[in-house]
Structure 1
């Protein structure tokens, strides 16, 4: 991450990363398919977390409450290191291909969420709308968390975004 911040994503090679980490390139490729995976690895874990959290939501939870609970669990996991997340987002924002990859990652997470909601018995289009709305609230909360001078925590910022979403759609 430091190399990406210092030099930019495109100017950083796998050889540079391996050297900085004290590894060979071969060892790097045992852990990552390519240098983008340093930024985007672990997507399967995110899918697993959101799927399990949605399955664990109480049966009495509305779809938006269930997605809120699942996002809270996800935020607790990924919201541990704000400086890392800020640096990661700076690198992504500076590169069109990485921004596109981030959008694909979020769209896939919305798809997984919608499927999990359907398994809970939420019909379409409600499952898809809820999942997409949840990801929109996540993106807004994530951006607020990264850009705010005070760190209220990622779970709090996403909860605030979900509450704002409920407010604007209530009436």
Structure 2
């Protein structure tokens, strides 16, 4: 086995997702993942703290990413415009780095394992907390900041879920636009479509 093969992290992720799908998350061991990837267990632990991190790596960077995005947004944008014009494009960028197949398989693994649901919710909670702080830093009062953050996370989650439910069609930007338009209709007019 070569010590410094390119794409090591991706190979480990691929092997882990295959095994999680075949035999379940709980039943899959790190040695099985590394054997499938043709790597050592030591290599696995250079990239991931444990097998959950295969599914949730990068989670710790969410608050920093949100803070940078919020700081870079024009001060003239109100909370709802910031969600539509600032957060939506950033989300598309984030997801463009992953294949649709990867995202669908990742979701299937999480959906099949109740113990992973809490960790997925934690990821969204971290995003909400960072958004709330960002809105407060932009001058919003506590209630407005909390509502804007929760609305943003709900819209993002709903858009991503709808996009994955439709196997990536028509596209994530369209799913986000559609979700934000529905949210706006609901909050502005109070009527259902």
Fold in common (TM above 0.5): yes
Q: Decide which moves more: 11-20 or 151-160.
A: 151-160
Contact 2:62–2:126 at 8 Å: present in 1 too? no
Computed over aligned residues only, the root mean square deviation of the Cα atoms, in angstroms, reads: 1.5
**3-state secondary structure, aligned to 1:28:** helix
Bigger Cα Rg: 2
Q: Decide which moves more: 31-40 or 56-65.
A: 56-65
**Pairwise CA distance, 1:99:** 1.1
Higher relative contact order (CA 8 A, sep 6+): 1
TM-score by length of 1: 0.93
Change (3 A) 1:135 1:61: same
Corresponding residue for 1:62? Answer: 78
1:89-146 deviation digits (Å, cap 9, x = unpaired): 0000001111111011101110011111111111111111111111111111011110
* Structure 2 segments unaligned to the other structure (5+ residues): 1-16
The counterpart of 1:141, out of the listed 159, 164, 168, is 159
Matches within 5 A, 1:1-171: 1-68=17-84, 69-80=86-97, 81-149=99-167, 151-171=169-189
Matched positions, count? 171
Q: Distance in 2 between matches of 1:5 and 1:79?
A: 23
TM-score by length of 2: 0.83
**3-state secondary structure, aligned to 1:58:** coil
**Pairwise CA distance, 1:10:** 1.1
* Structure 1 segments unaligned to the other structure (5+ residues): none
Q: Distance in 1 between matches of 2:83 and 2:66?
A: 8
Contact 1:79–1:155 at 8 Å: present in 2 too? no
